[in-house]
Amino acid sequence: MNKLAKRIFDSDPYLAELDAVVESCTSIKEGHAVILDKTIFFPRGGGQNCDGGTIADIEVLDCYEENGEVLHILPQPLEVGQAVHLAINFDNRLDHMQHHLAQHILSALMTQMYKNDTQSAHMEEGYGHIEIERPLSPMELVELEQAANGIIARDLPVKTAYYTPEEALKIAVRGKITPHDMIRLVEIEGFDINACGGSHCRTTGGIDKIIICGTKEVRGLFRIYFKSGKAAREEEMLRTARLIAAQHALGVEMTETLADTAKNTVDLLRAAEARALSAQAHLEEADLERFHLACEEVNGVPFLSRIITDHYNAKHFKAIGDKLVKAHKAVVLFALVGEGETSLILMRPKGGKTPDLGAVLKDLLAKFEGKGGGSPVMAQGQLNTSAPEAIAAIEEAFAALKNELQA
Ligand SMILES: [Zn+2]
């Protein structure tokens, strides 16, 4: 049989079951690749996933095209000449077809209405996305959604046919045509013609509904998320609940002021974040000066050991320690006592064999449970206790390190 005529899904995308005969079965890395005399399994490609389902009650693992043949990948082999029953997962097929045809309509409308051509399209289970050249405004997206649902309401027939490349060139086709022996054109009657190998509903009414449900700027393109069919109905049902939840979260009375309030809130948060960063930098500078002044001279080396009980974060003390070590070649020992835990930050300049700060931390971790580690010059960890005996052990370890420096 001619390879194109074997593709029953091309002419009848609504056929969910079929009897066929195994033409060949080859063992490959992923399993067994089966070619049938005819098939209803749509192979993955063109942004559309392959169909799931069974052949002779065996789950199809994957389905793709190679040299114009559809390969069905099974976990076990079939015999050549064997008669088999095929069944696809029709709910998924319908979801694919609805989202895929919705993409044709949205892409055609964006070209027609905004001269904004589709750069790529992708379908997932229950939603799809299209990437276009330039952003569309929220009102343009609403206009687009309404126009798309207008095309659905007109229930326009969707026709597919194969053409030679010469024939296809004479037809006004939207978008590029990838060179092939035979070109499959999909026509939404009186609305759009596009070259496509995918599966589509028989009429635009089969999509039921299109909802635009999100946007994102990505790689210099503008991505539009959309849902169709059952997924669009669910989205529609949940939309009001989501709006009201957002309205509660932002303390807004009417949803009409939601966007402005959300924008103001984000602006305020960003400003507060910038102020916090600047305050943090000032605090770090002040603490650096304070702790530098507090360093003792031990055998010609600036030495600082502190048990800190007020709440600063470890990142702050690590940054100060780094600067004291780098700028003043200081030995810095911090213990930050929290509730039921104590963080340790031990640092000294590189060079010389002692003191081994990693070994000191390891000793404390052996006595009290916790985690952490490090090298002779830099060790950081956390004990799972803030009990007085742990603090006493830390003070003792810090004093021993000072003695070691003095020796
Ligand atoms: Zn298509």
137 and 216 share one domain: yes
145 and 71 share one domain: no
Q: Which residues of the chain have pLDDT under 50?
A: none
25 and 109 share one domain: no
> How far is the centre of ligand 1, averaged over its atoms, from the C-alpha of 294 (Å)?
73
Domain CATH for 13:
2.40.30.130
pLDDT given at position 311: 65
> How far is the centre of ligand 1, averaged over its atoms, from the C-alpha of 100 (Å)?
6
pLDDT given at position 300: 87
> How far is the centre of ligand 1, averaged over its atoms, from the C-alpha of 229 (Å)?
16
> How far is the centre of ligand 1, averaged over its atoms, from the C-alpha of 304 (Å)?
71
> How far is the centre of ligand 1, averaged over its atoms, from the C-alpha of 165 (Å)?
18
What tens digit of pLDDT does each residue of 36-73 get? 999 999 998 766 678 899 999 999 999 999 888 999 99
> How far is the centre of ligand 1, averaged over its atoms, from the C-alpha of 167 (Å)?
19
Which of 88, 114, 148 is a domain's end point?
88
What tens digit of pLDDT does each residue of 362-387 get? 999 999 989 999 999 999 999 999 99
160 and 234 share one domain: yes
Look up the domain containing 274 and give its range.
252-288
> How far is the centre of ligand 1, averaged over its atoms, from the C-alpha of 101 (Å)?
6
203 and 121 share one domain: yes
Q: Three-class SS of residue 112? A: helix
| pTM summary value | 0.72
Give how many domains the chain has, as a whole number: 4
pLDDT given at position 47: 63
> How far is the centre of ligand 1, averaged over its atoms, from the C-alpha of 200 (Å)?
6
Residue 158 lies in a domain: yes
The rounded distance, in Å, linking the Cα atoms of 332 and 350 is 13
> How far is the centre of ligand 1, averaged over its atoms, from the C-alpha of 313 (Å)?
56
236 and 141 share one domain: yes
Tokens of 264: 């103001």
| Continuous H helices in 122-224 | 138-153, 165-169
104 and 203 share one domain: yes
Which of 236, 271, 288 is a domain's end point?
288
Domain CATH for 197:
3.30.980.10
Residue 203 lies in a domain: yes
Inter-CA distances, 208 with 155, 190, 223, Å: 9, 19, 23
> How far is the centre of ligand 1, averaged over its atoms, from the C-alpha of 237 (Å)?
28
pLDDT given at position 68: 84
Residue 373 lies in a domain: yes
Query: Which single residue is written with the structure tokens 């702050």?
Result: 316
Domain CATH for 303:
3.10.310.40
Residue 164 lies in a domain: yes
266 and 400 share one domain: no
> How far is the centre of ligand 1, averaged over its atoms, from the C-alpha of 219 (Å)?
24
213 and 100 share one domain: yes
326 and 395 share one domain: yes
Which of 218, 244, 270 is a domain's end point?
244
Query: Which residues, in sequence order, are CB contacts of 73 under 8 Å at separation 6+?
Result: 28, 30, 31, 32, 33, 34, 60, 61, 62, 63, 64
The rounded distance, in Å, linking the Cα atoms of 118 and 317 is 52
> How far is the centre of ligand 1, averaged over its atoms, from the C-alpha of 19 (Å)?
26
Residue 3 lies in a domain: no
162 and 78 share one domain: no
